[in-house]
Structure 1
Amino acid sequence: MDSYIRETPETLRNKCAACFRQFNKLEHLVEHMRTSYHSVHEPACGICRKHCRSFESLREHLIGPLPKQECRNIFSTRGCRFCLAIFDSPYALRIHQDRCQLSGLNGSGVLGRLSNLGIRDNLAMDYSGRSTRGGAGPQVVALACKMVGGGSDGSLDICARVCLIDEFENIIFHSYVKPPIPVTNYRYETTGIRPEYLRDAMPVRQVQKKIQDFLCNGEPMWKIRPRSGGKARILVGHGLDHDLDRLQLEYPSVMIRDTAKYPPLMKTSKLSNSLKYLTQAYLGYDIQSGIQDPYEDCVATMRLYMRMRSQNHRVEDYPLASDPQNRNNFASWRQTELERMTPEQMLEISRSDYYCWCLDSN
């Protein structure tokens, strides 16, 4: 059984180089490294370098309710409350936060943009977008839906509006969707949708085919592989399983980037955060007030994705614990060899158990 103990020269050897947990025996540290999947892709404190499983855990480490006092003191004057980075001076922090805190799309922003563009249901555009980091990686699009209610009590979600944007926040596709079953609750207070908007809308089957064909981009579904240099597009969203189910649309999970399921953006309890919370906490503005527009949700998820993708992590040839080359890093038959390693050496061979979005830009 592991426990926290007072540091001595002897026990320092049993201290995890990532999360700083201390163990009574070296074999317990080895078992911890075997199951923790520490890696360069974990959020880490810019002061003490402690690794955290999520940004929420890092936020707790820095600002409470029980923070590390030294880190809290420095963070209070030189730390960004959005990306949680530490800067050399308060002045450098102010310059950074002007860029890090993004403006919202409420008021005339999103509504004005949509009124100028109108509802777009044509996916035949020539999309040739490239990564904002200058690379020629997979094209990225964000999708969001708004649901009305069906069933006797109006609780059954039916997709009634869908939006698709590119990584530069340009609208690719935006359409009302004709429900396949009767609507019993239009949820007007949040959707703004009226019966007449759906009367002559595009049928869900047609919407599904248009979006699926666009995402696959001429590549057969069975052939789509991650990091394969194919033509299929990366799909970003929040709670995409539900949206895709309501659209009756299938897409390979390896090409999906869901802000509701991405470990660094989840709660310390490993539950999902709401998109509203993530936007406020990590982008610095509010969404989903009053009548909600799917374009606003698309922009928020795309900005969260781009922020996570732009992290500057050390490049590794085989970054995932599931990569065949890492299969034996912590194999039980290596136990004696592992116990001879220093904590730093064990961290060096440890790999992530989730796909970090920074890999999309490599």
Structure 2
Amino acid sequence: MDSETHRNKCAACYRQYNKVEHLIEHMRVSYHSVHEPKCGVCQKQCRSYESLREHLIGPLPKVECARVFSMRGCNLCLKIFDSSSAVRSHRTTCQFSRTMTGLISRMSRMNIQAGSCIDNGQMSGSRVVALVCMMVGGGSDGSLDVCARVCLVGEDENIIYHAYIKPQVPVTNYRYESTGIRPEHLRDAVPLKQVQRRIQDILCNGEPIWKIRSKGSKARILTGHGIDYDLKCLGVEYPSFLIRDIANYPPLMKTSKLSNSLKYLTQAYLGYDIQNGMQDPYEDCVAELRLYTRMRHPGHPREYAGGRGDGPTRNNYPAWRQRELERMTAEALLDLSGSDYYCWCLDAYN
């Protein structure tokens, strides 16, 4: 009975099943892979960092894992270290300082308010760009989102492009408490078509958009939080294989598979607060870049059985192999499994 129970225990998440066929069905739909966050104590794989956080420090954590984590764990990256002194040394580099961000942020606001447009060129050395849009309200009740400000920041955390955008419909709610936008900012703002062309030029990096491919392209990776909606409001098209949306990245989503806010993600995984009062698009861009960079270097093996998010067609558990699968160990079944999302760690190699 013990050996049978062990055989029917998932080698990744440790769920147990009465019958081996139930375990096989679990592996068929779970898409476990080396890219999933893993507990440094018991080696359990979790679907997201939120589920790993609950496993370590949630309301009902795994007792032994929680005990070890309390002494030797980092509450930001959720890694376990050899000693408490190693954790203290690690935290100095793991926790980002808001002091410098706040200083740069205040300086950026001063520069931005001096003129409606800042354009620092192509920034050819920046492979990744973060984008944030700020919306004012249009329509009779002010509920229609109208893009009125855009900011692009490069990997060096310097502004590449910023502009106030001339609304194409009358503004009925400037949402000043959160946006800081006043009528005078939009009086001499940049026309939307001009902004669209400039953003497209920066992202494509001299390459025609119809020539952009997933590998070997000069075009830039675009990251953001809810980036698809920002692009839609801007009226800008960009290839999906170059978009890294923090709001929809499975390892950063809630256990309910809903999105976490940028404010929460910054506090939980970078260690400082943003969006306290009036929103600063530069500060949001920096947070997006730092979160993307942290997810790009998670410290796990590069192996990737599922390809570029095509796990459903690559998981090797077809029904015709059922008898063969039933003879395999749980570890062998795990070796057949691939991720159903594109892990950002692969960007470091492309």
TM-score (norm 1): 0.91
Report the counterpart of residue 105 of structure 2 in structure 1: 110
- 8 Å CA contact retained: 1:321, 1:350: no
SS of residue in 2 equivalent to 1:175: strand
Cα contact 2:40–2:79 (8 A) shared by 1: yes
SS in 2 for 1:111: helix
The letter of the residue matching 2:329 is: T
Distance 1:356 1:242 in 2: 22
Contact 1:143 1:236 in 2 (8 A): yes
Which residue does the alignment assign to 2:29? 35
**Alpha-carbon distance, 1:289 to partner:** 1.1
> In terms of mean alpha carbon deviation, does 308-317 or 55-64 score higher?
308-317
TM-superposed deviation, 1:299: 0.4
Inter-partner Cα distance in structure 2 for 1:322 and 1:249: 24
Unpaired runs of 5+ residues, structure 2, are none
The reply on whether 1:167 has 2:155 as its aligned counterpart is: yes
SS of corresponding position for 2:165: strand
Q: Structure 2: which amino acid aligns with 1:166?
A: G
Q: For 2:309 and 2:317, locate their aligned partners in 1 and report how far apart those are by CA, in whole Å.
A: 12
Q: Distance in 2 between matches of 1:147 and 1:85?
A: 38
Q: Which residue is equivalent to 1:22?
A: 16
Supply the distance in 1 between the matched residues of 2:184 and 2:301 (Cα, whole angstroms).
Answer: 53
Q: Residues 106-155 of structure 1: CA distance to partner in whole angstroms, max 9, x if unpaired? A: 6544112443576574657242325xxxxxxxx11000011111111111
Give the drift of 1:49: 0.6
- 3-state SS, counterpart of residue 223 of structure 2: strand
Partner of 2:284: 297
The offset of 1:157, in angstroms, is 1.0
Whichever structure has more helix as a proportion of its residues is 2
CA distance in 2, matches of 1:107, 1:329: 49
Moved more, 29-38 or 107-116: 107-116
Q: 1:58 matched to which residue of 2?
A: 52
Query: Are 1:268 and 2:255 matched, yes or no?
Result: yes
Distance of 1:120 and 1:178 partners within structure 2: 10
C-alpha distance in structure 1 between counterparts of 2:86 and 2:182, whole Å: 49
Aligned length: 347
> AA paired with 1:194?
R
Q: Which residue of 2 aligns with 1:3?
A: none
Residue 177, structure 1, aligned to residue 177, structure 2: no
The 8 Å contact of residues 320 and 326 in structure 1, kept in 2 or not, is answered as no
What residue in structure 2 maps to residue 197 of structure 1? 185
Residue 239 in 1 paired to residue 226 in 2? yes
Amino acid at match of 1:238: H
Query: RMSD value over aligned CA atoms?
Result: 2.0
Q: Matches of 1:224 and 1:247 in 2, distance apart? A: 20
Secondary structure at the aligned position of 1:147 is classed as: strand
Q: What is the rounded CA distance, in whole Å, between the counterparts of 1:146 and 1:189 in structure 2?
A: 12
Among residues 194, 201, 214, which one is paired with 2:202 in the alignment? Answer: 214
Task: For structure 1, list consecutive stretches of 5 or more residues without a partner in the other structure.
Answer: 1-6, 131-138
Match of 1:186 among 174, 180, 190: 174
Same amino acid, percent of matched pairs: 66
- The aligned residue for residue 141 of structure 2 is 153
Write the letter of the residue equivalent to 1:195: P
Q: CA deviation at 1:225?
A: 2.7
Which position in structure 2 is the counterpart of 1:47?
41
Deviations 1:258-284 (A, max 9, x none): 110000000000000000000011101
Alignment of 1:349 with 2:336, yes or no, is yes
TM-score normalised according to structure 2 size? 0.94
Q: Deviations over 1:83-124 (max 9, x none)?
A: 100011111101111111111266544112443576574657
Q: Secondary structure at the match of 1:84?
A: coil
2:317 is equivalent to residue 330 of structure 1: yes
Alpha carbons 2:225, 2:247 under 8 Å: kept = yes
2:90 aligned residue: 96
The structural deviation recorded for 1:181 is: 0.7
Contact 1:77 1:90 in 2 (8 A): yes
Quote how far apart the aligned CAs of 1:315 are.
2.2
Shift, 1:218, TM fit: 2.8
CA distance in 2, matches of 1:222, 1:293: 33
Aligned-partner residue type, residue 347 of structure 1: L
Structure 1 SS opposite 2:145: strand
